[in-house]
Amino acid sequence: MSTPHYFVTPAGQERRRVIRARFWDEDWEFDTADGIFSAGRLDLGTSVLLRESTPPTGEARLLDLGCGFGAITIALAVGNPKATVDAVDVNLRALDLTRANAERHGVAQRVQTFTPDEANPGVKYDEIWSNPPIRIGKEALHELLLTWLPRLKPNGAARLVVGKNLGADSLQAWLNANGWDCRRTASAKGFRVLEVRHPHQTPHAD
Which ranges of 116-161 does DSSP label H, i.e. alpha helix? 138-148
Backbone φ, ψ for residue 158 (5° rounding): -105, 140
In a domain, 126, yes or no: yes
- pLDDT-derived band at 7 (thresholds 50, 70, 90) equals low
In a domain, 159, yes or no: yes
What's the average model confidence in pLDDT over 74-88? 98
CATH number of residue 132's parent domain: 3.40.50.150
**168-202: pLDDT as tens digits:** 999 999 999 999 999 999 999 999 999 999 986 55
In a domain, 5, yes or no: no
What's the average model confidence in pLDDT over 136-151? 94
Q: What is the pTM of this model?
A: 0.90
Provide the number of structural domains found in the chain: 1
